[in-house]
Structure formats: structure tokens, C-alpha cells
Amino acid sequence: MQVGGVWALAAGVWLAGAGVSWGQNAPPTTYPPSMDREPLLTWLQRETDIQPDKVVAVTPQAVTSVMSTFPAAPGQSPRVVIRAEALSPETVAHTGALSWHVSMNADCESHKVRLGETTGYAERNLLGERKLLRAAENDWRTPDDGTALEAAWRAACRADFRGPFQAADAQPAVGTPQAPVAPVREPPPPRPVDAKAAAAKPVPSKPAPSPTPRATPAGPAAGALAVQVGATPSEAEASSLLASLRPKLGGRRAWIETAQVGGKTWRRVLVGGFTDGGEASRFCADLKAAGRACFVRPARTG
């Protein structure tokens, strides 16, 4: 099964033209020592927060994964949010980013895609300084066979699609090195719930105002969606951002997620409690209109 190509390079030059002068204070950049299974998987789990089973394509230029999926509503096409991490200095020089993400609508019947706004980041895992790499596309186009864009289309439109880390019989295409099959990483055990909180009276759907929105002890349900509004190493900055979101929550839950990336602790500000992907996307669009960066992602990444 061929999943080669990279949606930033082989699917057109829609990421070209961005310089690499930004993000000069970013942490040292590392790349996989080889495209063999074990070194690549070790690097992926050490340097990124991508789950192997979410990867749809691996090439010498980038690893591409699906962040979130929105099934087709009546009269609409399915949509996925895809992200990529650069696997070579040449890719960084060409795209001007170490990581980037873009939403993609998929027309399953005509085998076409339409890309939304592409945002690049100076650091791994969609962190650091960000910039617009490419405006949203108005026209539909057919992705080239074997590219990561085509793999993302199949991930949205084919129920039997398996990524390179999922398919037991997957083999790299000739002349296109990529990662062999790798097992899906087991999720960590759930965070313990405070016994007193568990025995307490259920919280109403619209909680009473509090000085600062806080996460409840139990994590979000599997499959739920969240809007990530920011990421910072500073706990004070994260708390301040969380508090500033309070007037916009409308009864939704907001919390701070802590993650270890490259040996550094990051605090991500998340808003959850959405009924579906459309509501989450509209909430994020309102934040963008107000000048805040955000994107939709799974509320619990495992």
C-alpha cells in the first residue's frame, strides 16, 4: 500500500515561500536518525505528541497525521484536520515551519479535496511562533496518487483505510523510504479521581460562575472534541489565558492540560463540552475573529 509523498511538497507548492528567520529562540531541532521502524518510532514518541495510529503518511520530508475527524453531515462532505512534522532540514527551508496544520474537506465521490487555511509553527507540536503559510483554497482539486494528501482523503472517505503504523502488511513504496509497521502505543492509565469529588452531587450542565474556570477531576470522555487556544511553558500565563476565556465559555468547561515535549513542560489551554464538530469549529472561528489562535483537536489524546 503506497502512502508516499508529502502534502506540503508533492501536492503543489502551497507551502512554499515562507522564510525560516522566525523562531530563532526555539529549542534545538532534531530529526529521525533514519527512516527505519525503531529509530523513527522512538523519535516520534520522544519529540512529538502524535499517536502512531493517527499517522496517515510518512515520507523523507514529513510525517502527516489526522488530528480530528468530522463525519459528513447531510448535504456536506467529511472534514479532517491534518498536521505534519518536518523530517528534514530541507523541508523546513522549503515550508518555513517545523510543524503545521490545515483542515481539509474531502469529496468522497469525486476523489477531490479542498484545503483550508494552513498555519505553520516555529517549533514542534504546533508550538512557538505561528504564521499563515497559505490562505484557504476556494477550488476543489484531485490529490496525486501516493501523496500524503491522497492518504488523508482515504482516511476521511474509506472506512477500511489503515495508516503505515496500522497496516500489518504495509511495505514502503519502491524509492520512497517510509516507516515500516509499528504497534499502536498503549494509552497511559486514567488519571485517578478524587474520592470526595466522585461522591459529590453531580455538577449541573451550566456551572455557577467561579473566579477562574478549572478542570474537573475526571478527564473528558473518549472521542470528545476540544478547542486548544494556546500553549505556554508558564503556569501563570496559562492561568491568565484561561481566566480571559471565561466570558466566552457559555457554560462550557475549560482546563489546562500539561504535556512533556522534548523534556520541557508545556501547558495547553483547552475548552470542551461541544455537542459536535460544527459547534467546536464555530467556537474556534469566533476566537480567531477576535484575534486568538486556536484549532480543534481531540479532548483526550491518550
Tell me whether residue 187 is in a domain: no
Looking at the fold, whether 45 and 159 belong to one and the same domain comes out as yes
Domain count, the chain: 2
DSSP E strands in the chain: the ranges are: 55-58, 62-70, 79-86, 99-107, 112-115, 118-123, 127-134, 225-232, 253-261, 264-272, 295-298
Which residues form the domain of 261?
203-298
| Strands of the 253-261 sheet, one edge to the other | 253-261, 264-272, 225-232, 295-298
- Could you read off the pLDDT of 103-134 as tens digits, one per residue? 899 999 899 999 999 999 999 988 888 889 99
- Could you read off the pLDDT of 228-286 as tens digits, one per residue? 988 888 888 888 888 888 888 988 999 999 988 767 888 899 999 888 888 988 998 88
H helix or E strand, kind and range, residue 152? helix 148-157
* CA pair distance 235, 91, nearest whole angstrom: 33
The CATH number for 114's domain is 2.40.128.710
Q: What is the maximal distance between C-alpha atoms in the chain? A: 61
- Could you read off the pLDDT of 63-111 as tens digits, one per residue? 999 988 887 777 778 888 999 999 999 999 888 899 999 989 999 989 9
Most confident of 152-166, 188-202, 217-231: 152-166
**Cell output for 243:** 481566566
* CA pair distance 111, 113, nearest whole angstrom: 7
Looking at the fold, whether 135 and 251 belong to one and the same domain comes out as no
223 conformational bin, left if phi > 0, alpha if psi -120 to 50, beta if neither: left
Distances (CA, A) of 271 to 9, 26, 194, 261: 33, 26, 22, 21
Model confidence at 5, pLDDT cuts 50, 70, 90, reads very low
Using a pLDDT cut of 70, give the percent of the chain over it.
Answer: 71
The CATH number for 294's domain is 3.30.70.1070
Model confidence at 167, pLDDT cuts 50, 70, 90, reads low
